[in-house]
Amino acid sequence: MNDKKLPTSPIRWLFNASLMLLGTVIALQVAVCYLQPIWPWVVGIIALFGIVWLAVAFARWRRSRW
């Protein structure tokens, strides 16, 4: 294995950082486009689980008072 680090120029470093940033922006855009149609369903399911969890917690609290 080669453990030597070759000296890199700031321009090469800036190009690599810009390329990574561009890839990240594209991936985020694709993810948002795919999640946009199902976003209300995801929020609804999370809200439903929250309501069920609160109902179960309330019922257990009411039973454990005695």
CA distances to 7, 52, 64 from 57, rounded to whole Å, are 60, 9, 11
Q: Is the model's pTM score more than 0.85?
A: no
**More confident position, 14 or 1:** 14
Please determine, for residue 4, whether its predicted confidence score (pLDDT) is greater than 70.
no
What's the mean pLDDT when you consider all of the chain? Answer: 90
How far, in Å, CA of 61 to CA of 6, rounded?
A: 64
pLDDT in tens, 26-51: 999 999 999 999 999 999 999 999 99
Q: How far apart are CA 53 and CA 64, in angstroms?
A: 16
